[in-house]
Amino acid sequence: MQRDALGNLQLVGINFINASALETKGIDASATYAIETGIGRFDLNAAWNHIINYRIQIAPGSAVIDGAGSVNFNNLGRSLPRDRVEYGAGWTSGRHTVNVLGHYVSSYINDRSGITQTHIKSWNTFDLQYMLSLDDLISQNSSVTIGAINVADRDPPAAQLNLGYDPIVHDPRGRVLYVAVNQKF
């Protein structure tokens, strides 16, 4: 950081550190299914992401680290559980839509030095949403939505990191309730 004679900031220097090499390999798969019934339309969906490897080489000639399934506290990688799955079910009938969405993160290893608990547990949360279309009631292209994120108010799994959980992977907010009014013009 450089300042002029009056103390005004003139320059901020930021040093970035890059890995010499990074190679990742994984699988992404998704599926959707919809069916019309006498009581409405049902939609099912799932998306799976699996990390096979996440190889990091800090400097040329240095050892290659496989960071898949690890917090990567001791290297330049990021927290990277091997599996994440988003899955859900929805129902729509007339003006009404209900959606349930699940979020799964697999367990992974905390590689931070000097800790006693090296295993971070898997985490599964659910969101719930109800939407009422107001088309023809108030105006076209309008709706009201109410919902809950992490409806069961599940805490993130404990991790021996600075905040007590892994902020790269988990959300500490607990249950979040919301109401949204949408109007498209």
Give the span between the Cα atoms of 2 and 78, in whole angstroms: 31
Question: What percentage of the chain has pLDDT greater than the value 90?
Answer: 71
Give the count of alpha carbons within 13 A of 82, CB side only.
Answer: 9
Beta 64-66 vs 40-57: how paired, if at all?
antiparallel
Please provide the average confidence, as pLDDT, over all residues in the chain.
91
Give per-residue burial for 120-157: e unless 16+ CB within 10 Å, then b: beebebbbebebebbeeeeeeebbebebbbbbeeeebb
| Residue-level pLDDT at 3 | 78
Q: Select the more confidently predicted residue: 26 or 17.
A: 26
* C-beta atoms surrounding 13 within 10 Å: 6
Asked if pLDDT for residue 16 goes beyond 60, the answer is: no
Asked if pLDDT for residue 96 goes beyond 60, the answer is: yes
Asked if pLDDT for residue 40 goes beyond 90, the answer is: yes
Asked if pLDDT for residue 119 goes beyond 80, the answer is: yes
Q: Select the more confidently predicted residue: 99 or 22.
A: 99
126-150 confidence digits (pLDDT tens):
999 999 999 877 667 899 999 999 9
